[in-house]
């Protein structure tokens, strides 16, 4: 498989986490979002959404990260990301989709560029926008984690939820979001970052990270 993505893209990051946790081999193919390579004619001919990630598989090119992750669990059932119990599966989806559906749209790069270029917003104003929407979802998410008694992970091992949470926390920290009142999230983050699968998936370890090239 080939994963077309961008090192700092949260959706690319979540798919790297999923592939690593499932132990699936893949080749990382960088797509530079800052140069809009994802909008090229060659790329959109394969992925009409003109977005990353795109996963090249023996069954064709796959787009949309959440759909890809669930497809991976169905096509490669070993090391499942979703638990077998239907109530646990629901809980994992509830929390993961809260992040994926509520935060990705208002916080992705095209929206932030639109705020700056079309409405003349300053970087400080854009950062405030970013943190505002983060709080609207991450505050109740922390409450849900407390309600269900989450430990180092939502369940016994990292899976579907952690794959989606980790990239969002990474991007939130880039915008100086305050996690001091979110002990459940920060505990899960620390437990994940201690694992080699998440270390390999981290933006700092990707070949298209400029700092990685300079190191």
Same domain, 38 and 103: no
Picking from 31, 62, 79, the residue at the C-terminal end of a domain is 79
Picking from 62, 79, 96, the residue at the C-terminal end of a domain is 79
Same domain, 143 and 180: yes
Taken in order 36, 40, 42, 48, is the CA torsion positive or negative?
Answer: positive
Same domain, 7 and 64: yes
Task: Say which residues have a Cβ less than 8 Å from residue 15's Cβ, sequence separation at least 6.
Answer: 3, 5, 53, 55, 65, 68, 69
pLDDT tens track for 172-198: 999 999 999 999 999 999 999 999 999
Has residue 75 been placed in a domain?
yes
Same domain, 90 and 149: yes
Same domain, 184 and 93: yes
Domain residue limits at 106: 86-198
Question: Each residue's pLDDT tens digit in the chain (215 positions)?
Answer: 999 999 999 999 999 999 999 999 999 999 999 999 999 999 999 999 999 999 999 999 999 999 999 999 999 999 999 999 999 999 999 999 999 999 988 888 888 888 999 989 999 999 999 999 999 999 999 999 999 999 999 999 999 999 999 999 999 999 999 999 999 999 999 999 999 999 999 999 999 999 875 44
Same domain, 90 and 194: yes
Q: How far apart are CA 175 and CA 195, in angstroms?
A: 24
Picking from 79, 105, 120, the residue at the C-terminal end of a domain is 79
Has residue 108 been placed in a domain?
yes
Same domain, 56 and 127: no
Same domain, 75 and 103: no
pTM of the predicted model, to two decimals?
Answer: 0.92
Domain holding 37: CATH number? 3.40.30.10
Has residue 45 been placed in a domain?
yes
Has residue 206 been placed in a domain?
no
Domain holding 167: CATH number? 1.20.1050.10
DSSP state of 63: E
pLDDT tens track for 151-173: 999 999 999 999 999 999 999 99
Q: What percent of the chain has pLDDT over 70?
A: 99
The pLDDT value recorded for residue 213 is 55
Has residue 203 been placed in a domain?
no
Q: How far apart are CA 123 and CA 125, in angstroms?
A: 5
Tokens encoding 144? 């849900």
Same domain, 122 and 188: yes
Same domain, 16 and 95: no
Same domain, 55 and 95: no
Same domain, 65 and 100: no
Count the domains in the chain. Answer: 2
């Amino acid at each position: 498989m080939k994963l077309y993505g961008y090192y700092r893209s949260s959706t690319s990051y979540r798919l790297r986490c999923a592939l690593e946790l499932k132990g699936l081999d893949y080749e990382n193919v960088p797509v530079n979002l800052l140069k809009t390579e994802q909008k090229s004619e060659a790329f959109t001919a394969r992925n009409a959404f003109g977005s990353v990630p795109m996963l090249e598989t023996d069954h064709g090119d796959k787009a949309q990260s959440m759909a890809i992750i669930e497809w991976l669990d169905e096509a490669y059932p070993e090391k499942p990301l979703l638990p077998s119990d239907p109530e646990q599966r629901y809980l994992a989806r509830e929390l993961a989709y809260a992040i994926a559906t509520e935060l990705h749209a208002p916080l992705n790069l095209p929206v932030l560029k639109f705020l700056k270029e079309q409405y003349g917003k300053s970087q400080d104003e854009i950062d405030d926008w970013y943190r505002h929407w983060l709080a609207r979802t991450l505050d109740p998410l922390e409450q849900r984690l407390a309600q269900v008694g989450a430990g180092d992970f939502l369940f016994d091992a990292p899976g579907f939820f952690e794959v989606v949470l980790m990239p969002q926390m990474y991007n939130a920290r880039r915008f100086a979001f305050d996690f001091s009142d979110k002990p459940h999230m920060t505990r899960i983050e620390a437990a994940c970052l201690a694992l080699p699968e998440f270390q390999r998936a981290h933006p700092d370890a990707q070949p298209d990270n400029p700092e990685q090239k300079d190191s």
